[in-house]
A and B are shown apart, each in its own frame.
Chain A
Amino acid sequence: MPLFNRAKPTTTHLDASVRAEGSLSVPGDLDLYGTIKGGPIEAKKHITIHARATASGPLKSHSLLVEPGGRYRGKVTVGPVPTDLVQRFGRALGLIK
């Protein structure tokens, strides 16, 4: 995991009124209450998809929580995925284009 110079990484809030399409990348945590479609969605640390939030498209983060009532659909790569696994299954898993 990358280090963040002891500075506390910021949390990005996307509230319920957000209706976004396309990619999103945040340096710390992502708290999603609204809608993001298409992706890729990436957070260096944690992603929470709260109840009534919707996300779709490739997702990458260190850890993940999709609360009951939240929606997500897409390919996920969460956590410290071993490099040999990326090499062997990268294409099938959508990690390598």
Chain B
Amino acid sequence: MSDKFKVTCPHCGNVQEEPMGAISTYCRSCKQHIPIKGNRKRKAAVVPQNTRVVICRECGYTDKIVSHALSTQCENCSTYLDLRNHVIQGKSGQKLVTYGDVTFMPGSTYEGPLVRASKITVAGKVSAILQADVELEIQAGARISNPIQSPLIKIRSGAEVIVGQINTRCLELASKLRANTITASEQLIILPTGMLIAQQIYTRFVEVQPGGVLVGDLTVEPGEVVLDTTPPAESSESTEEEDPKLV
């Protein structure tokens, strides 16, 4: 993109180039002063900016939005889209539905009905249904006890996850996980520190690396495993009574 623009002298009609951001100049032909109006706006409009892709959850319309924008409106269905990122520290119960990212810091405690974001990172204790459009990362020290849903779920070593239901495309597990039903429509990978105990597991590809543990009723089918994208209902079946802590 050019960092110069053309200015026409109001006195003699001479056309000359001036740098973006200039607010006045002198005509190189008639030597008279030329004020430049509104150039600040023009400068703002031509500065290249990072963009991010936002897919409207209401209508599925895909749009490119300036990455530092805090909100926008869907061009197709006019729904207001909150794009803010949230970092949760300490105790919180604020509503967290955004197209930005949500991070639960170590030591944080969160209680709510549903957290929905682009990427969710958990290092605290979270009691809410978690739905991440892109990725859900559960880090060491995290405690999760509600259904989780995201195309990509990474459970790092040192987390404790006991949930009713998991819906994902890819699940990568490096710590203990106990669940009623797991659907990993593309792949399930259990790393050497991972331990998965579930009643029902559905996937297309499974790898249990040496040292990893997998116990449960497993179904591996080559066909398309349909991923449920509706928000998961809070499970009435509690697995905590059975096994609150896997040793």
User: A85–B215 contact, CB under 8 A?
Assistant: yes
Query: Which residues of A approach B to under 8 Å, CB–CB?
Result: 46, 49, 51, 59, 62-82, 84-85, 88-89, 93, 95
Residues of B within 8 A of A75 (CB): 216-218
B 216-238 contacts with A by CB, 8 A: 216-222
B interface, CB within 8 angstroms of A: 190, 195, 197, 204-222, 242-243, 246-247
Which of B210, B216, B217, B220 is A71 in contact with, Cβ under 8 Å?
A: B220
Given contacts A64-B206, A85-B197, contact A73 B220 (CB under 8 A): yes
A71-B215 in contact (CB<8A): no
CB neighbours of B208 from chain A (8 A): 63-65, 78-79
Which residues of chain B have C-beta atoms less than 8 A from A62's C-beta?
A: 210
- What is the bound-complex CA distance between A79 and B211, given in angstroms? 6
| Residues of the A chain whose Cβ atoms lie less than 8 Å from the Cβ of B221 | 71
> Contact at B216–A76, with CB atoms within 8 Å?
yes
Complex-state Cα separation, A74 to B242, whole angstroms: 22
Candidates A76, A80, A88; contact of B211 at CB < 8 Å: A80
Tell me if A63 and B209 are in contact (CB < 8 A).
yes
